[in-house]
Structure 1
Amino acid sequence: MKKLIMSALILTMAAGLLAGCANSKKEGQVTIGIGQFAEHGSLDNCREGFLAGLAEGGYVEGENLKVLFENAQADGGTAAQIADNFMAKKVDLIAAIATPMAQSAYSAAKKKDVPVIFTAVTDPVMAELAKEDKTPNGNITGTSDKLPVEKQLEMIRKVLPEAKTIGIMYSTSEVNSVSAIEEYKAVAPNYGFEIIESGISTAADIPLAADNLLEKVDCLNNLTDNTVVSSLPVILDKAQEKNIPVFGSEVEQVKLGCLATVGLDYFDLGVQTGKMAAQVLRGEKKASEINFEVIEEASFYGNNAVADQLGITLPEELVNSAKEMFDEISE
């Protein structure tokens, strides 16, 4: 009997030692959690760019960097669970991609002062992640993907000189979209446009909202709204049936079938954010000491295949200035 008890104790101790080895991090290794709010091209590019920026800053996955990645699939409750899970696993830093994920990460991390680096947050001030002077509200900083609204409207006017109304669909629960809508409505009259908005609560609302909006507008303009972007193929199909152009807000949307955009390169945005995270991981500065940054460069992207479908000739000056033109629609 004593031998059996002793054997059991030895096995238990051995299991504990093995578990400890499994859970311990390599010497000099840091662990980060990357939480992405939704699955679509621009946010995927942001994540890839973020890892590239970290590598430039000296942190390479599989060497001195362990990455935990989870996607909330555009669900706010799941985003909160992901953030709590990262905290339970005692990550050294959370990277949050898109506004709802950043808000959830900050809420979970501030209790233990774990740094959060966000990206693809349109309005960090409205999201209560930063102050008006760009200083952080806590141990959090990152990059904004604020839309180049005036450049976009100027481009739409050149492409559609006779257009009067622009329809914009947005999720009422995403503060980044609410902020963008207000800016579009304020600036649109300067370019002779009226903005007709349609707020949705869930992705299930999108088909009917798209049908109603397409009856009232000359074109649609898509934001970086995560819920809407996740259903972009549905919107594009409905718009194509009515021969109404849809303008995107970044390059991946143009690849999928939007006519054109003046937008950001989300890979570059991610690289910029990754470099900020590396600075924090190296201990050079705390996130609370770094103002959030806004990427300034925006480029024209157009899709020749979509233009041909719509019978639209894209202005030569835009085509000549394009960072990239596409001749097919991605599946």
Structure 2
Amino acid sequence: MKKFRMIAAALALVLALPLTACGQKEESEHKMYSIGINQYGEHASLDNCREGFLQGLAEAGLVEGTDFTVDYQNAGFDDNIARQIADSFSAADVDLMVGIATNSATACYAAAENKDIPVIFTAITDPVQAGLDSGNVTGTSDKLPVEAQLDLIRQLQPEAKTIGILYTTSEPNSVSAIAEYQDKAPDYGFTIDAIGVTSQSEVTQAADTLISHGVDAMSNLTDNNVVGVLPSILEKANEAGIPVYGSEVEQVKLGCVASAGIDYVQLGKQTGLMAAKVLRGEATCADLPYETISEYSIYINSPALDAMGITVPADIAEKAVESSAQ
């Protein structure tokens, strides 16, 4: 009887053990991913990228606070701060770095390389020129639909000859876009008057210079230094009677007359979906070539167009999205 009780007690002990004691795999603990977001500066386009990124993670089934935490930091358009933020993420051994805009993305890539932390970027016009097309890095490009923009300006201003563009000489995305504008502008009967700046403090003075050259229109890029002071540029251009074309909807809402541009929320969402795959181990960055949104929309600001005396052709008006500020 005593022997039977001993056997029964042993059996009860075995049944009480975790399944792993019987050779089955114990369920792993729930993984809480840490994500560091390095945003180069604060303006509507980049903010929309960040919002879209979080929407993309949610669409992929990841819940903030349950599946991941976010450390969001803003560099204030300062390269040194962007590098400091990236270094802090690397020191914290985050599971993923996100660089919003070229300077933040390259800073993250440099800080993550030795630790092999994956980097996801967004709002970069030319990832190849930025050196972000190989290694443990991928993301989405906001390459501008330059030909569509040139065609739009030609249709809205049939007599225009010269387009002025401001850009930052150290931003690879802007340098790439300027080269494409200069290459394709003659096909639409335009010449490009481009003025480069090295910092945001130089932008408004450069705008004065463009205006003094008598350009017929100005076309904005996704240049962070320029976008950061766009209201000042618009004020000067409006006084001179020079239409300013944006590169996406938020710039049109601020007062640009029109734009052939992409949706930055959608761009961010596309980035978030890619990031979810990397976090879950479904793919590595090397498995995911960077992506570009090929579709664009025509955005117009009717009050701004009216102020410039520009009439929108019927075929453009039919497909355009009204984007004047509410």
Q: What is the TM-score when the length of structure 2 is the normalising length?
A: 0.89
Which of 257, 260, 282 lines up with 1:259 in the alignment? Answer: 257
Distance 2:270 2:71 in 1: 20
Q: Deviations over 1:98-133 (max 9, x none)?
A: 111110000000110000000111000000111xxx
Tell me which residue corresponds to 2:190. Answer: 193
Secondary structure, counterpart of 1:95 in structure 2: strand
Q: Which position in structure 1 is the counterpart of 2:141?
A: 144
Q: For 1:310 and 1:95, locate their aligned partners in 2 and report how far apart those are by CA, in whole Å.
A: 40
CA deviation digits over 1:138-187, x for unaligned, max 9? 10000000000101100100000000000000001101100000000000
Structure-to-structure mapping, 1:175-186, within 5 angstroms? 175-186=172-183
Q: Which has the larger radius of gyration?
A: 2
Q: Which residue of 2 aligns with 1:223?
A: 221
| Matching residue of 1:22 | none
Q: Please tell me the residue identity of whatever aligns with 2:265.
A: F
For residue 123 of structure 1, give the secondary structure of its aligned residue in structure 2. Answer: coil
Q: Judge conservation of contact 1:305–1:329 (CA < 8 Å) in 2.
A: no
Q: Distance in 2 between matches of 1:46 and 1:261?
A: 18
Q: Which residue of 2 aligns with 1:36?
A: 39
Q: What corresponds to 2:154 in structure 1?
A: 157
Q: What corresponds to 1:8 in structure 2?
A: none
Unaligned runs of 5+ residues in structure 2 are 1-28
Cα deviation 1:53-83 (Å, max 9, x = unaligned): 0111121212211000001111111110010
CA contact (8 A) 2:120 2:137 kept: yes
- 8 Å Cα contact 2:203-2:225 kept in structure 1: no
Structure 1 outlier segments of 4+, above 2 Å: none
Q: Which of 258, 282, 288 in structure 2 is aligned with 1:290?
A: 288
> Distance between the aligned counterparts of 2:325 and 2:32, measured in 1?
42
Cα deviation for residue 215 of structure 1 reads: 1.9
Helix, strand or coil at the partner of 2:315: helix
Instruction: State the superposition RMSD in angstroms.
Output: 1.0
Matched residue type, 2:63:
V
TM, length-normalised to structure 1: 0.88
What corresponds to 1:239 in structure 2? Answer: 237
Matched residue of 1:110: which SS? Answer: helix
> How far did 1:329 drift?
3.8
Deviates more, 1:55-64 or 1:156-165: 55-64
User: Gapped runs of 5+ residues in structure 1?
Assistant: 1-25, 131-136
Letter in 2 for 1:150: E
